[in-house]
Amino acid sequence: MLELRKDIFADERDDNLKEVGQPTQRQDMLGHVTGTSPYYDDHRFGNLLHLKLLRSPHAHARIRSIDDSAAARAPGVKRIIRGADVPVNLNTLLSLIQFGKDDEPSLATDVVRYKGEPILGVVATSERAALEALALVRVSYDPLPAVFDVEEALKPGAVSVNAAYPKNTFEYYGKYDHQKLRFGDVEAGFAHSDVVLEERYQMSPIEHAPTETNGSIAVPDTNGRFIVYTSTQALFFSLDTAAKINAMQSNQLHFIGGTVGGGFGGKVDTLTEPLSILAARLTGAPVRHRLSRHEEMQFGSPRGAERIYIKDGVKRDGRIVARKVTAYFDSGAYTRLSSYAAVKCAAHIPGPYTIQNVSADVYCVFTNRTPATAMRGFGVTALDFALECQMDKLAVAIGMDPLEFRILNAYRDGDMKAHRREAKNCALIECAQVAAEKAHWPLGDEYRRMSSRQGGGAARTGGADRTRAPAPAAPAAPARPSTPQRVSYERPAAAAPVTAPAPPPRSAPPPPAASPGGSTHGAPRFSSVFGTRRR
């Protein structure tokens, strides 16, 4: 059984909990273990047609001409679809909430902006016939210079990627080229710091690689309606997107989904539905549009690659006094959801820590790479990776225990966050304390006694006047001799003489004890740092 920590949020929680702590069965589990869960491709229709797309072999090129005459005559081909056939051939996903300009065609007509961008579709009686016909299409390209690096894309004279955003940056509120956060005075903070550490973090694009690839089947219904079986993660979002691109009313579309073979963010882009619906309209037959594994891996949008620079100033007593972040989100050739990722990133800076002086600039940048999209906390996860790496490096640089360093700087109730909102319901300190106990990681007594509910507020965050240079707060631990210096974590030998003591020796955590076997679901038992353990 789970043990609940009733002391946390005791005044806010309804104590009448019936489900928490009790195992309960998923409603779809029986279907999963019997192979009867209805994924989109588990529906069968007579005379099903298949749509496959011709994709650009160039990262950036002008399309001079397209010759599809041989493909149109190929065996089994029912219809060729070109950009001119798409009723609204320019869209951006978040236009549904009036956020951003339409920038991405369903089928490129004049310019291709990433390798794999769709140009033309073939609808045929089998996938094989469609692929064989695609091989007969002749496209003449004028290759254009391409840009693949976010900082290169922002330099003067860089190749312009996206016609809607010629400066290669997403425009917020119609005029701002990035998300900006200012709190206190970081430069003054750095001047007051004992150690200043600046690091660069580079993430890679990550493909979600769901075991079921993206796909959909559009079936003409009576009364001009279409039933669409789809793998989408976002049924109504995809419905509205498909309606817009096809210039249809949303009540002409009936989307059936919800059983998704893995998504992780890779199935919100509505990659297949608009064209399968269009193909069904143009042929009057059910049409399936299913990405191959190769298409899924190469052209399905990945998590965007972020580049994040962090510069921190920290005192020898462990307080972080200034944090400056510059982040670049690689959106690829089109916006999709990266504009939103940058907003989330800016909202998460400076992490769950109270820092008196914060400055951040977050850019959503267009390059000639595969358009990026949502993936499991996108915008926040990469930043957290960078921030927490940085926290470890800072702890080492000043000779503090990394967990105690986090506890010292963690938000406390009443602290003023860099976004000028008061921190409430903070629990990082308590989480860190429980984690330390679980891992048999020794914490100093004073860190064991710290609480999210104590010590927060104006005194800690430097008062209400955010324009002043930070006033030195009472040291939380005995101050060590401090001389301002820059520390490079990667090259400690080249850094100034190390005045900080080495971190206290830690015994390696013992291997986890064998599960007591009382749990039927394998979840670890939860024990309190304050209360008695149940073992």
Binding site for another protein (CB under 8 A): 25-26, 28-37, 39, 41-42, 44, 208-213, 259-264, 292-294, 520-522
Complex with another protein: residue 294 or 440, whichever CB lies closer: 294
Complex with another protein: residue 24 or 222, whichever CB lies closer: 24
CB 269 within 8 A of CB 208: no
Cβ 286 to another protein shortest distance, Å:
14
Complex with another protein: residue 202 or 515, whichever CB lies closer: 515
CB 210 within 8 A of CB 261: yes
Q: Is 65 helix (H, G, I), strand (E, B) or coil?
A: strand
Cβ 379 to another protein shortest distance, Å:
21
Cβ 442 to another protein shortest distance, Å:
28
Complex with another protein: residue 292 or 527, whichever CB lies closer: 292
CB 258 within 8 A of CB 28: no
Complex with another protein: residue 26 or 175, whichever CB lies closer: 26
Rounded distance, CA 243 to CA 253, Å? 7
Rounded distance, CA 517 to CA 117, Å? 52
CB 336 within 8 A of CB 394: no
Q: Which residues of 251-268 are buried (b: 16+ CB within 10 A; e: fewer)?
A: ebbebbbebbbebbbbbb
Complex with another protein: residue 52 or 412, whichever CB lies closer: 52
Cβ 264 to another protein shortest distance, Å:
7
Which letter does DSSP use for residue 177 in this model? S
Amino acid at 348: H
Q: What is the dihedral of CA 265, 270, 273, 275, to 10 degrees?
A: -140
Rounded distance, CA 15 to CA 145, Å? 63
Complex with another protein: residue 48 or 88, whichever CB lies closer: 48
Cβ 291 to another protein shortest distance, Å:
11
Rounded distance, CA 312 to CA 190, Å? 7
Q: Which residues of 79-90 are buried (b: 16+ CB within 10 A; e: fewer)?
A: bbbebebbeebb
Cβ 35 to another protein shortest distance, Å:
3
Cβ 134 to another protein shortest distance, Å:
17
Complex with another protein: residue 289 or 348, whichever CB lies closer: 289
Complex with another protein: residue 78 or 267, whichever CB lies closer: 267
Cβ 25 to another protein shortest distance, Å:
7
CB neighbour list of residue 26: distance below 8 Å, 6 or more residues apart: none
- Other beta carbons within 10 Å of 202: 13
Complex with another protein: residue 205 or 262, whichever CB lies closer: 262
Cβ 331 to another protein shortest distance, Å:
24
Cβ 519 to another protein shortest distance, Å:
11
Complex with another protein: residue 75 or 166, whichever CB lies closer: 75
Complex with another protein: residue 250 or 292, whichever CB lies closer: 292
Complex with another protein: residue 36 or 507, whichever CB lies closer: 36
**303 beta partners:** 206, 373
**53 beta partners:** 121
Rounded distance, CA 173 to CA 415, Å? 30
CB 285 within 8 A of CB 208: no
Amino acid at 108: A
CB neighbour list of residue 9: distance below 8 Å, 6 or more residues apart: 425
With CA atoms as reference, report the closest residue to 153 among 412, 364, 447: 364
Rounded distance, CA 57 to CA 51, Å? 19
Cβ 22 to another protein shortest distance, Å:
14
Q: How many residues does the chain have?
A: 535
Tokens found for residue 472: 């030195």
CB 182 within 8 A of CB 242: no
Cβ 268 to another protein shortest distance, Å:
15
CB 231 within 8 A of CB 271: no
CB 254 within 8 A of CB 222: no
In which residue are the tokens 């991405």 written? 104
Cβ 496 to another protein shortest distance, Å:
43
